[in-house]
Structure 1
Amino acid sequence: MRIAAWNVNSLKVRLPHVIRWLQDQEAKQQPIDALCLQELKLTDDKYPHQELEAAGYLSLAAGQKTYNGVAIIVRKAALASIASDAATSFLKPIRNIPANTDEQQRILAATIPFAGTKPIRLVSAYFPNGQSPDSDKFIYKLDWLSKLQTWLTEELQQNQRLALLGDFNIAPADADVHDPKAWEGQNLVSPPERNAFQELINLGFSDSFRMFEQAPKTFSWWDYRMMGFRRNAGMRIDHILLSEDLKEKCSASVVDKEPRTWEQPSDHAPVIATIQKT
């Protein structure tokens, strides 16, 4: 089975891309069983449940006007027979970090009863950007990361099969940055952010991408400006972290750059992990 994350940078704009990509994967006989979206930029009442269901997918969403927003999309054919609708497909849903009282919609978690395997707890996450290390937004980011770590500690105690997927807004190593020297000390690569990423790893997660040999300069985000994608001036800031149980079942982890080549694309590309059923 394959699970994925994609910051679509406005689902209203990118819905045709999402459906096209999902259908392309089906046509290649490599279907995406669950897709975690970030930056929906729309409210719950505007979420395209019907369009996605018509394409064969059920959804759970946590929307917000203009900013943020996360979703979990699951292929109906991948669900156990007992999960016949959205009410039974997404178990124990959590919207936002319980200890975080602000209204930014950045976390959505649910346990999915996939067919032919044990349920998997999925967390779709859109980490704060942080703006710059000397800003209030950066302070907010570090506080949010601390609360996330505390909450995930509890989640891992309750869920051995847990995947954290999304736009982390952190490039964990220089290998994940097109020009490390130019970015040194800046937002997304600063020591406090990278330390927070490592603290997530220390909880018992593994960076699925780094479990396998990868081509150098493989990124998941490219700035719209200065021909960033054409020059491959990007960063790897979209990640799939796997708990120990899922790590043992993971057989591949890749970035699919193709949607970034489409007309009016998101500035991010989907990231995908393959999990063997047990």
Structure 2
Amino acid sequence: MNTLLRMVSNRFIRLVGNLVKVVSYPFHFLMHDLRFTIPEFSKAKLKSKNASAIPKVIWQTNYSSRCTLPIYVNYLFNRLMSLDYDYRYVSTESRELYMKEYASSDAYYAYYAYLKLNDGAAQADLWRMVNLYNNGGVYMDIDATLVWPISLILKEKYDALYIKYKKNDAEFTNFFLATTAKNTHYKSVINKIVFNINGYKGLKKKGVYNTTGPAVLNEILDGQEVHSLRRGYVCIQGAFTNEYFQYLDKPRGKWTHKHEDDVVKC
């Protein structure tokens, strides 16, 4: 029954999201310069009744907190689905400061590798892993949408939760991540990303996806027993927004437009 309700919720969210997108085209045509602001911090509105080993905080980042209507509606909907969670938005500038302070030790020198990245999405890939390794919590891409209240998804027994992306459930994604701090898999992912960046010229498969993105996560998790769910039951992408609205102020800013030779400063 719970699975059925989640799928119904998934379909309903996509329907509402499509309506938001349809309305947003004429809205931003008429209000071309109007933007909304995602707050840096939003305190939990409710006291949670559900225990969770994973810290109750949601982390997000983007190239700017000033956003279009669909992105803002998506943010508001996710807050509705996470009323018992704190919310933190981290800017591009704050990401770099965080990496400098917490990821420049002998442990993995991730900060110095981070400085070699020319792409914001690649930087966010590395930052999310370092941040979650240090602090724990839930990371979601700015275009990700929860399909069910997050406190009902993250059971007390979970020390981490991953979602499967492909239809055949053969691939993990990193647009949603939930973990306790000091997850050893995350440490391995960080080390592998740093290795890829420092040895970028010699990589057989380059680009954001293979260097810092889901390919690294899948390599580390291959053969490992972890808690996972299909994305349709947890979190989906593009329900309320699309590339046009996400990058209205940064045309062709999505990582898919970055040539593989330009991802890392060699």
- TM value normalised by structure 2: 0.30
Pick 1 or 2: higher relative contact order, CA cutoff 8 A, min separation 6: 2
Greater share of strand: 1
